[in-house]
C-alpha cells in the first residue's frame, strides 16, 4: 500500500526534558481537507490536543523519545543534527512509507536528506525542506504529535521536580528552576542536558561566584 509520511520533532533546542520525533503516515495529503492542521507553534494547546486525538485515531503514528541523558551520550559520538537524522530514520522505519517529507535540520536540505537515508533500512524517497511543517500538512500533523507528546512528558516531569517551565533556555522559569536545583544539589538535575552550554555556563558562573567569596 502506497503511503507518504511527514516527520518533525519537538524539543531539539531545549535544555531540560526529552527530544520527541514523530511521523504521521497517510495515503495522501487530501485526507486533511477537514482538519486545520498547521505548524504546532501556531496552535493553542487546546487545539493541539484536539487535533492530536483525531490524528492518532485516523492515521498511523510513530514516535521516538530521546531523554536528556541519552542526548548527552549520543553527542559524544555525533552532532545533534546527525542524532535527529537518525531519529527521523527510526520513525520512518516504523511506518515504512514510499515517501517521507522531513523538516530539514541542516542548512543544506539535500545533505540532510542524505543523512536520513544513511540510517534507513527500508527504501524510501526523502523530501527534505526547511519549514516543511508550514508547507506540507502531513508534516504539520507530525509537528502536532511531537509537540503534544513532549508537552505531556514535560507535565510528567513537573509533577516530580516542581515547576520547570517549558524546558527551553529562553524561558525564565526554566532557568530559575535549573539555577535553584544546582544551588541545592551542586549538580544539574537528571532531566538537564549537561552537554548544553546553558548548563556548563551556569555551573561555571556559580563556581566563579563561589571562589570570589574567598578573595
pLDDT for the residue numbered 211 = 52
Last residue of some domain: 158, 180, 201? 158
114 and 186 in a single domain? The answer is no
Residues 170 and 150 grouped into a single domain: no
C-alpha cell at 36: 486545520
Please check whether residues 88 and 40 belong to one and the same domain: yes
Same domain, 199 and 126: no
Task: Write down which residue in 135, 158, 181 finishes a domain.
Answer: 158
Per-residue pLDDT of 61-113, as tens digits, reads 999 999 999 999 999 999 999 999 999 999 999 999 999 999 999 899 999 99
Q: What percent of the chain has pLDDT over 70?
A: 96
Structural domains in the chain (count): 2
Residue 177 φ then ψ, to 5°:
-60, -50
- Percent of the chain past pLDDT 90, that is, above it, reads 82
Same domain, 179 and 115: no
Q: What is the pTM of this model?
A: 0.92
Residues 96 and 121 both lie in one domain = yes
Q: Which domain holds residue 62?
A: 4-158
Domain CATH code at residue 190: 1.10.10.460
pLDDT mean over 11-36: 93
* 174/149 same-domain check: no
Given a contact cutoff of 8 angstroms between Cβ atoms, the answer to whether 16 and 174 are in contact is yes
Residue 121, number of CB atoms within 10 A of its CB: 10
User: pLDDT tens digits for 162-215?
Assistant: 999 999 999 999 999 999 999 999 999 999 999 999 998 898 887 776 555 544
Q: Do 8 and 63 lie in a common domain? A: yes
Residues 72 and 171 in one domain: no
Amino acid at each position: 500500500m502506497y503511503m507518504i509520511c511527514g516527520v518533525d520533532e519537538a524539543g531539539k533546542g531545549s535544555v531540560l526534558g526529552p527530544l520527541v520525533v514523530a511521523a504521521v503516515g497517510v495515503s495522501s495529503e487530501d485526507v486533511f481537507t477537514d482538519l486545520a492542521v498547521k505548524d504546532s507553534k501556531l496552535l493553542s494547546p487546546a487545539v493541539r490536543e484536539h487535533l492530536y486525538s483525531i490524528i492518532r485515531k485516523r492515521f498511523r503514528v510513530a514516535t521516538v523519545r530521546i531523554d536528556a541523558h541519552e542526548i548527552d551520550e549520543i553527542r559524544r559520538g555525533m552532532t545533534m543534527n546527525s542524532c535527529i537524522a537518525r531519529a527521523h530514520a527510526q520513525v520512518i522505519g516504523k511506518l515504512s512509507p514510499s515517501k517521507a517529507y522531513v523538516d530539514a535540520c541542516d542548512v543544506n536540505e539535500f545533505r540532510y536528506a542524505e543523512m536520513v537515508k544513511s540510517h534507513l533500512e527500508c527504501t524510501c524517497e526523502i523530501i527534505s525542506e526547511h519549514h516543511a511543517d508550514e508547507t506540507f500538512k502531513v508534516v504539520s500533523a507530525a509537528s502536532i504529535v511531537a509537540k503534544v507528546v513532549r508537552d505531556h512528558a514535560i507535565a510528567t516531569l513537573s509533577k516530580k521536580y516542581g515547576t520547570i517551565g517549558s524546558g527551553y533556555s529562553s524561558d525564565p522559569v526554566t532557568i530559575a528552576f535549573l539555577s535553584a536545583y544546582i544551588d541545592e544539589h551542586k549538580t544539574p538535575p537528571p532531566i538537564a542536558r549537561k552537554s548544553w552550554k546553558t548548563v556548563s555556563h551556569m555551573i561555571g558562573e556559580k563556581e566563579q561566584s563561589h571562589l570570589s567569596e574567598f578573595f
